[in-house]
Each structure stands twice: as structure tokens, then as C-alpha cells.
Amino acid sequence: MTKDCADGRFAPEEITEELFEGYLDTHGIPDPDLLIRTSGELRLSNYLLWQLAYTEFYFTDVPWPDFSKEELEKAIEQYNSRDRRYGGIKEDEENV
């Protein structure tokens, strides 16, 4: 992206979120709904930072080699129980 900008394909002030996203390796792939982090790690390790803005996270102490169908089902069950707001706030929180 910086090379294209330096080569005059677009001016810095023309850079938008959409233009930036077009340069990502994940362009055209939907953002994840759920990220499962195994092995007790409570960090993202700079993984998909742009794409994870509205992703739900599930952290487990189970190491990846031991991650089972049952653990996946727990993650999905927890995900399904969440109230996804995509960055918004609940109506009752607006009146606080």
C-alpha cells in the first residue's frame, strides 16, 4: 500500500478503511465471528487485529493438541449465549 501511494496511485488523503482492507491478505474473506484461544493464553499475539474488531473471544486453558469436540461445543454454546452488539451499547446502558 505504501509503495502504491508513493508511486502516485492514490494520495495519502484518499486512504479509506475500504482501501486499506483491500490490501490485507484476508480481503474478501468475512471477519471471524468467534476466536478460540487455547493453552491459557490471554493475548491475541497481534493476530488479525483489524479483522477482530467485532469478534467474540473464547479463552480456554486446554492446549491445542488436546482441544476436543466437547471443548469446541462449549465454545460455541458460550458464543450463542452472548448478546452481540457489534460495538453498540444496550439501550439501558445509554440512560446511565
At CB < 8 A and 24+ separation, what contacts does 29-37 make? 31/55, 33/79, 34/58, 34/75, 34/76, 34/79, 36/60, 36/67, 36/72, 36/75
Q: What is the pLDDT of residues 66-87, one digit of tens each?
A: 999 999 999 999 999 998 887 7
Give this prediction's pTM: 0.75
Q: Which residue has the higher pLDDT, 79 or 90?
A: 79
Q: What is the pLDDT of residues 21-30, one digit of tens each?
A: 999 999 999 9
Residue ranges per structural domain of the chain: 1-28, 31-89
